[in-house]
Structure 1
């Protein structure tokens, strides 16, 4: 088949461009240690790299989520532990007040100490984070969870019952908050303690022995509830430690797989680069020689 001079020039230029492009691609691969520079280099490998990258991004997001949950639950645990300490103080004071031999002045003195410990409990139940968001209000984080109702004078829970769940792996999530209504359902303890303080600060003729013993029972129930929530937080944070370890193992495997898939085979790439350069130089030499020929060269 006869090939025209024009077609020859086109074919030769295409060969030069192809070899030049191959040389440049291999040079970049060797410089970056990236085998796949564009999807056409390895379509299936490019899809796999995209999927692996997406999985690594998800694992990074899970890590961020777990750090946030750990911090939030840790702060809530601090508040609840503070409540437990105040409960122990009240327990000692109320047990002393239950003694029938206590006089009015002594009971009032105990009442003054109780009047310091009790507001501390209310403050801890209404604790906020660094942004001023209430820990124990459910999703209504701008609403103080326990407030005195203006009409009844009793404490009421003003939050909601939404427990926020945060994803920490592909198939699991953990709680991120404790609900105030689960700490003191119906504000029962707060109202009972509020009413008890009225009697302690103004002791009736028969003393406060019976009321103190009733209050001790309510205090024990409140302590049990708070301690149970502290245990829930502890169990959740322990599970986060386990999930963190598992996620880190998965991430390490995924990163290694991605690196293996994308890494350049240096000997193969180096040989291919040299072959492209040799072919490029040969094509240039031939093209240069042929381009200088004309019909007059044969006359």
Structure 2
């Protein structure tokens, strides 16, 4: 086989170039100690490295999210703990104010301190983080969670949305605690009310408190279906309870309605989950206790729903809603929006009621015309002061008294402590019932607060566990990337030496062979 000189030169040059390129690539590999510097070095390995790099970036983001979540939860836990400390002090104040040694002046001082605690608590509830976001407003981080109403009560203006961050593959965690979960769902034990029906003028002989929910299960199952109840005293030692249909349900009361007529003594009457304080106060000259007490009667009912109303800042008129009352319970239960309503006037007298919030495609749930300054919609009558203008809007949020935030509880206790009761046994008995109610609601609020803190602790433990998992995954990721990408130093140096030697040998062989031409023999 003959090989021409041109072919020889071309073949030798191509082989030399290929070996030179291999040596250059190996030299670059020796410099970086990485086997794959471009996708062409190992397409399959480069693809695996790309996926591993994406996983590594995700793990880094998970680590950042976990650190941010821990920081946020720590601030929330510290704030909630401070609120718990304030509530404990409020309990101590209430117990001191209701002691037999406290005077009106003492209670006035206690009321002032309790008012300061209330402001401290609302300040903590409206706390912000380092970025200026409210801690307990849910997703409405630019809105303070609690706002004071015109009547001194407080309304939660945040939402119930959790802000979640990814902390692992397919796993996320709420970074926030909403005010709804931490404060707004405290069970209200004061859900009933008692009003005297006979005699027409209270003679102070029988004092029956509004009652406290002692058993929510029994209350929910039995109380509502039979109200309103009539509690009447047959004698000084026996009471009778009848339901709305006139059925005698006294057997469900403590001791079948038997009470003590010991003068000025406090006793508890339990009925269908409600515990009521009873005081019989006989007067001098009451030689026949039965005759003095018989005929006293009371009506016992659940507290009716109330409403927090507010005018829209954009209203052009000065009209306001001065009162709201349920006038048609059936229509109210069937039609009034549970999440709040917006009363919108289309003229000075015509109006529509919408479910909040109102959007471009909202449809009214009720419409009507004002009569005598009253606008009745969905079973609720709104008393309107002034003349509305077309386009005026008013918000209305119902309160069924099943729950009560602790700010309102503290406000009610401040009011109770501010009323003089010295030398007035009847007022003292009513004051004690108010304080007992407040203490029960403080306990309920503290329990909910504890649940929120426990939730933060549980999330913190989950974050610690996930951190350990992510670190293990990150270590495995790094090891796998290294096994695919990194080179064996000994193998690389041996290969580089071999390739350099082959280049030198090729150069020498080329030189020798080219010297074998006939022209070199002339």
Q: Does 1:194 align with 2:411?
A: yes
In structure 1, the residue matched to 2:111 is 111
Q: Does 1:19 align with 2:19?
A: yes
Asked whether the 8 Å contact 1:181–1:187 carries over to 2, the reply is no
Asked whether the 8 Å contact 1:100–1:209 carries over to 2, the reply is no
Asked whether the 8 Å contact 1:140–1:159 carries over to 2, the reply is yes
Per the normalisation by structure 2, the TM-score is 0.54
In structure 2, the residue matched to 1:219 is 442
Higher mean C-alpha deviation, range 24-33 or range 208-217: 24-33
Listed one character per residue, the Cα deviations across residues 226-248 of structure 1 (whole Å, up to 9, x for unaligned) are 01100000011011111111211
d(CA) in 2 for partners of 1:73, 1:80: 10
Listed one character per residue, the Cα deviations across residues 188-226 of structure 1 (whole Å, up to 9, x for unaligned) are 321232233133234466143221111001100000000
In structure 2, the residue matched to 1:242 is 465
Asked whether the 8 Å contact 2:115–2:410 carries over to 1, the reply is no
d(CA) in 1 for partners of 2:120, 2:100: 27
SS at match of 2:162: coil
Asked whether the 8 Å contact 1:34–1:262 carries over to 2, the reply is yes
Higher mean C-alpha deviation, range 48-57 or range 102-111: 48-57
d(CA) in 1 for partners of 2:501, 2:164: 62
Higher strand share: 2
In structure 2, the residue matched to 1:53 is 53
Higher mean C-alpha deviation, range 4-13 or range 116-125: 4-13
In structure 1, the residue matched to 2:496 is 273
Mapping for residues 169-208 of structure 1, pairs under 5 Å: 169-185=168-184, 188-203=405-420, 206-207=427-428, 208=431
Q: Does 1:144 align with 2:144?
A: yes
d(CA) in 2 for partners of 1:255, 1:279: 36
Listed one character per residue, the Cα deviations across residues 126-183 of structure 1 (whole Å, up to 9, x for unaligned) are 111112110001111111110113x554311111111012111113222110001112
d(CA) in 2 for partners of 1:238, 1:84: 22
Q: What displacement does 1:298 show?
A: 5.4
Asked whether the 8 Å contact 1:128–1:135 carries over to 2, the reply is yes
Q: What displacement does 1:22 show?
A: 1.2
Relative to 1, partners in 2 of residues 1:187 and 1:134: Cα closer, same or farther, differing over 3 Å?
Answer: farther
| Rg larger for | 2
Q: Does 1:258 align with 2:481?
A: yes
d(CA) in 2 for partners of 1:222, 1:114: 16
Q: What displacement does 1:101 show?
A: 4.8
Q: What displacement does 1:7 show?
A: 3.6
Q: What displacement does 1:294 show?
A: 6.6
Asked whether the 8 Å contact 1:156–1:187 carries over to 2, the reply is no
Relative to 1, partners in 2 of residues 1:133 and 1:187: Cα closer, same or farther, differing over 3 Å?
Answer: farther
Mapping for residues 88-107 of structure 1, pairs under 5 Å: 88-107=88-107
SS at match of 1:194: helix
Asked whether the 8 Å contact 2:26–2:492 carries over to 1, the reply is yes
d(CA) in 2 for partners of 1:16, 1:30: 21
d(CA) in 1 for partners of 2:121, 2:6: 93
Asked whether the 8 Å contact 2:183–2:445 carries over to 1, the reply is yes
Mapping for residues 61-140 of structure 1, pairs under 5 Å: 61-140=61-140
d(CA) in 2 for partners of 1:210, 1:43: 81
The gaps in structure 2 that reach 5 residues or longer are 185-402
d(CA) in 2 for partners of 1:184, 1:85: 15
Higher mean C-alpha deviation, range 108-117 or range 50-59: 50-59
Q: What displacement does 1:261 show?
A: 2.3
d(CA) in 2 for partners of 1:65, 1:26: 41
Asked whether the 8 Å contact 1:137–1:143 carries over to 2, the reply is yes
In structure 2, the residue matched to 1:10 is 10
SS at match of 2:167: strand
Listed one character per residue, the Cα deviations across residues 23-62 of structure 1 (whole Å, up to 9, x for unaligned) are 1221222222211122222222222222222222221111
The alignment covers a number of residue pairs equal to 298
Higher helix share: 1
